[in-house]
Structure 1
Amino acid sequence: MARLNVNPTRMVLTSLKKRLKVAVKGHKMLKDKRDELMRQFLELARENKTLREQVEKQLADVYSNFIIASAVMSSEVLDEALMYPKQGVSIEVGNKNIMSVDVPVFEFTTTTDDTSNIYPYGFASTSGELDSAIADLSDIFPIMLKLAALEKEVQLLAAEIEKTRRRVNALEYVMIPRFQETIKYIQMKLDENERGNQTRLMKVKDMMLAEAIKLKKEQDRIAFEEYK
């Protein structure tokens, strides 16, 4: 792992130790966030699977009823019966926050207060299968909205999980090892400089001691000559 290109000083060492501490703390927080996102993602994925199977089954029943209705009714009568819808729907899109991820929330309101008022035709000229198909579509519409919001939520959480995973890996395999390697390098350089300084001090001390011994011998010689 390549170390950072910095000067091996104690100030830089202190700064890197602080950055390493922050990086380790951030790594733990991101791992916890990733794990919680994964937990919620799996729960939503299971709910999404169940809801999708339910919607697909109900839609299959709707299509089956429509096919039967189109078989027993003429195309002109069927088109005329469905030409002018009686019930309208207005959809509002909100959002909620899940682990710093904004996910959509769909809400709808009907144009009339009577939500059961959904048949835009009289019952005399239409088949019961058409009634069943329209009723089933009315019932399944809120579930389809919930499924749409749920699938978008799953997609957004998956994208956030991938982004968080990359950040965790960048800290775990790049930044933290790089900080550790650089700190180790600076510590070794400082220790090396410290040993060099101690060696130089010992040499200076030996030189000063030798000089003091030499001076003392010279003083003793002069004193002895004066004594004679």
Structure 2
Amino acid sequence: MSGAADREAVFPTRQSLGLMKAKLKGAETGHSLLKRKSEALTKRFREITRRIDEAKRKMGRVMQIAAFSLAEVTYAVGGDIGYQVQESAKSARFRIRTKQDNVSGVLLPAYESYLADGSNDFGLTGLGKGGQQVQRCRETYARAVEALVELASLQTAFVILDEVIKVVNRRVNAIEHVIIPRTENTIKYINSELDELDREEFYRLKKASREQKAAGYCCSRCGDEGEAGGSIFERPGAC
């Protein structure tokens, strides 16, 4: 983790150090937010999974009852009434409205079924015989369609959440295992380089101070000997 490939290619300056520290703080904040978002989405995902299981069980029971109800109508009427229903129905009364649920910034579509206002277009179907069976079959299939709409809404949200959770988890892992370690290594590299520069500067100043002190001491000795009448050029090793 200490190689050049595990850090950013930056010049070691104090400005770069400040930028890297700001980047690290932003990465840690983003990681925390994405982690909480992933947890919230996962919680909703598990709830939807449980509701899908319940909706499928409910749909199985309702569709079974609807199939038996249609068989009763066929037996009571003495034939298939599908053609009569299609000819009698002018417009659909069973309709669907859509809305959106916001879950941690993710918009999930939700479908809701309702009955539109209007008269029963095929109310006279089965008037001769089997009228009760026809009405019961109609109500049963209405409940079946409601169950299907609920299941479709849950499965749509399931697919969207599954994809979003994968994307969020990839981002969390990238920040946790790539961006934050690289930024920390870059900060360590810049600090080590700045410390080395400080040591070099300290050594240079210390050396310059010693040279200045030595030069001042030599000049003071030369001045003393000159006042005493001696010649500094007559002695080896003199200034």
**TM-score normalised by the chain length of structure 1:** 0.86
Q: 1:186 to 1:207 in 2, by over 3 A?
A: same
- In structure 1, the residue matched to 2:101 is 96
Give the whole-Å Cα distance in 2 for the aligned partners of 1:176 and 1:10.
19
- In structure 1, the residue matched to 2:217 is 213
Task: Report the secondary structure of 1:102's partner residue.
Answer: strand
Give the whole-Å Cα distance in 1 for the aligned partners of 2:118 and 2:86.
22
Task: Report the secondary structure of 2:87's partner residue.
Answer: coil
Deviates more, 1:135-144 or 1:7-16: 135-144
Which of 16, 19, 27 aligns to 1:15? It is 19
Deviates more, 1:58-67 or 1:32-41: 58-67
1:162 maps onto 2:166 in alignment:
yes
Give the whole-Å Cα distance in 2 for the aligned partners of 1:131 and 1:113.
16
What do residues 80-117 of structure 1 show as CA deviations (whole Å, max 9, x unaligned)?
34333545333332322121111112244434446x87
Structure 2, unaligned stretches of length 5 or more?
231-239
Which of 22, 34, 46 aligns to 1:30? It is 34
Which of 1, 5, 8 aligns to 2:9? It is 5
What do residues 154-195 of structure 1 show as CA deviations (whole Å, max 9, x unaligned)?
222222211111111111011111110100000000000100
1:148 Cα deviation from its structure 2 partner: 1.4
Counterpart contact for 2:77–2:130, Cα < 8 Å: yes
1:63 maps onto 2:67 in alignment:
yes
Give the whole-Å Cα distance in 2 for the aligned partners of 1:158 and 1:217.
87
**TM-score normalised by the chain length of structure 2:** 0.82
1:150 maps onto 2:183 in alignment:
no
Superposition pairs of residues 187-202 of structure 1, within 5 angstroms? 187-202=191-206
Give the whole-Å Cα distance in 2 for the aligned partners of 1:203 and 1:85.
107
Give the whole-Å Cα distance in 2 for the aligned partners of 1:139 and 1:117.
19
Question: How many residues align structurally?
Answer: 224
Counterpart contact for 2:76–2:133, Cα < 8 Å: no
RMSD: 2.5
Give the whole-Å Cα distance in 2 for the aligned partners of 1:34 and 1:149.
21
Q: 1:58 to 1:120 in 2, by over 3 A?
A: farther
Counterpart contact for 1:45–1:154, Cα < 8 Å: yes
Matching residue's letter, 1:43: E
What do residues 193-212 of structure 1 show as CA deviations (whole Å, max 9, x unaligned)?
10011111111111112111
Structure 1, unaligned stretches of length 5 or more?
none
- In structure 1, the residue matched to 2:45 is 41
Deviates more, 1:2-11 or 1:136-145: 136-145
Give the whole-Å Cα distance in 2 for the aligned partners of 1:85 and 1:28.
60
Q: 1:120 to 1:205 in 2, by over 3 A?
A: farther
Task: Report the secondary structure of 2:189's partner residue.
Answer: helix
Counterpart contact for 2:62–2:143, Cα < 8 Å: no
Identity of aligned residues (%): 25
Superposition pairs of residues 122-141 of structure 1, within 5 angstroms? 122-126=126-130, 131-141=135-145
1:53 maps onto 2:57 in alignment:
yes
Deviates more, 1:122-131 or 1:51-60: 122-131
Counterpart contact for 1:62–1:132, Cα < 8 Å: no
